[in-house]
């Protein structure tokens, strides 16, 4: 008899207790009812949920480990949510973005998970596409990783996001060969949508008065790399790292020196950081959404709509013709 981890048992008990109280059983979106005829897919957070929904369509039920409105970087998983991973046909995640998910996937779904990071071709934070190309070989030395911290926010570059969707479709075709044609066709449709968005962004962000963009957390490096914007995040790559007073003063000086008129806040983060810098410098605050989750407060109902709202905000904030 195979040795089983005690976790599924615990998860079942937790589910029964919570279910009996009539409470929402989980912070994650794990499905309560499973349709055995459909593939059970799990996405670690919204951008991968969107890809799975578009690519798998009606052939799958997609659940998400990061509830809407929760900052995906510091997501914590309940035992019940962790337990659902073992029963999924495929868990799609991006290593390095969510440590709790990486641990749970390694323990519960080592053979039924798909890491999109290789397909996303991550840049090291602060690296340009040109620098990336120049030392692409170097990336493979020693540990097979770059030397700096890799920026996980690949979905903010529509071209990288389309590459990820194609890779997810290929993997789904392996898991469910009968659906292969559907998956590849849907991924091609998604790619067409993303390429149209890419064209809109490139045209909409051409000729702007300023190319310096100050955001709250360091999420928009790929947008900057793709559309030639110099993006500075007030906090680090993970938004829970509170900026020090020294960092706030440093960014305020930069804003004043460069004559930046707009600071961008984020819907999932508590207000205050962008506002603090704006108050000190006389800049206005607009919203730029890293599309890490969709809520009532989002400026659109899906990735494409929110990205178009981001483009509109950038065109206003950066003074684009």
Residues at the site binding Zn ion, with contacts judged by CB under 5 A: 219
For Zn ion, the closer of residues 219 and 231 by Cβ is 219
For Zn ion, the closer of residues 15 and 70 by Cβ is 70
For Zn ion, the closer of residues 87 and 236 by Cβ is 236
Put the strands of the sheet holding 39-43 in their side by side order.
60-64, 39-43, 90-93, 113-115
Closest distance of CB 202 from Zn ion, Å? 23
For Zn ion, the closer of residues 154 and 227 by Cβ is 154
Closest distance of CB 237 from Zn ion, Å? 7
Closest distance of CB 112 from Zn ion, Å? 26
- The closest residue (CB) to Zn ion is 219
Cα(first)–Cα(last) distance of the chain, in Å? Answer: 68
CA–CA distances in Å: residue 121 to residues 41, 124, 136: 23, 10, 10
CA–CA distances in Å: residue 298 to residues 65, 273, 316: 19, 19, 18
The single residue listed with the structure tokens 């369509």 is 57
Residue among 78, 83, 104, 90 nearest 42 (CA): 90
Closest distance of CB 17 from Zn ion, Å? 33
For Zn ion, the closer of residues 116 and 219 by Cβ is 219
Closest distance of CB 174 from Zn ion, Å? 30
Closest distance of CB 48 from Zn ion, Å? 14
For Zn ion, the closer of residues 80 and 93 by Cβ is 93
Q: What is the DSSP letter of 299?
A: S
CA–CA distances in Å: residue 137 to residues 116, 119, 226, 242: 20, 16, 21, 35
The DSSP result for 8-69, as a single string, is HHHHHHHHHHHHHHTS---SS---SS--TTSEEEEESSHHHHHHHHHHHGGGEEEEESS-TT
For Zn ion, the closer of residues 92 and 219 by Cβ is 219
Closest distance of CB 153 from Zn ion, Å? 5
Spatial CB neighbours of 312, under 8 Å, sequence gap ≥ 6: none
Q: Exposed, middle or buried, 42 (CB in 10 Å: 0-12/13-18/19+)?
A: buried
Q: Which two tokens stand for residue 7?
A: 């976790």
């Amino acid at each position: 008899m195979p040795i089983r981890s005690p976790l599924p048992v615990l998860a079942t008990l937790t589910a029964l207790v919570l279910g009996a109280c009539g409470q929402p059983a989980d912070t994650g979106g794990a499905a309560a009812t499973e349709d055995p005829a459909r593939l059970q897919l799990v996405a670690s957070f919204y951008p991968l949920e969107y890809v799975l929904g578009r690519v798998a369509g009606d052939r799958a039920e997609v659940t998400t480990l990061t509830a809407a409105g929760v900052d995906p970087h510091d997501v914590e998983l309940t035992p019940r949510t962790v337990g659902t991973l073992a029963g999924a046909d495929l868990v799609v995640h991006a290593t390095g973005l969510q440590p709790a998910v990486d641990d749970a996937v390694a323990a519960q779904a080592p053979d039924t998970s798909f890491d999109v990071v290789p397909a996303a071709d991550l840049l090291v934070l602060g690296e340009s596409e040109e620098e990336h190309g120049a030392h692409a070989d170097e990336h493979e030395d020693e540990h097979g990783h770059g030397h700096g911290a890799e920026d996980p926010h690949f979905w903010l570059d529509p071209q990288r996001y389309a590459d990820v969707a194609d890779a997810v479709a290929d993997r789904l075709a392996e898991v469910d060969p009968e659906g292969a044609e559907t998956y590849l066709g849907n991924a091609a449709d998604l790619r067409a949508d993303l390429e149209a968005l890419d064209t809109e962004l490139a045209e909409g962000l051409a000729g702007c008065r300023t190319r310096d963009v100050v955001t709250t957390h360091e999420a928009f490096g790929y947008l900057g790399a793709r559309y030639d914007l110099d993006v500075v995040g007030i906090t680090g790559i993970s938004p829970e790292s509170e900026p020090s007073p020294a960092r706030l003063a440093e960014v305020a000086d930069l804003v004043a020196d460069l004559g930046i008129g707009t600071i961008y806040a984020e819907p999932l983060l508590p207000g205050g950081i962008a506002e603090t810098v704006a108050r000190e410098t006389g800049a206005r605050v607009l919203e730029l959404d890293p599309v890490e989750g969709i809520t009532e407060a989002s400026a659109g109902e899906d990735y494409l709509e929110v990205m178009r709202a981001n483009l509109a905000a950038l065109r206003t904030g950066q003074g684009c013709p």
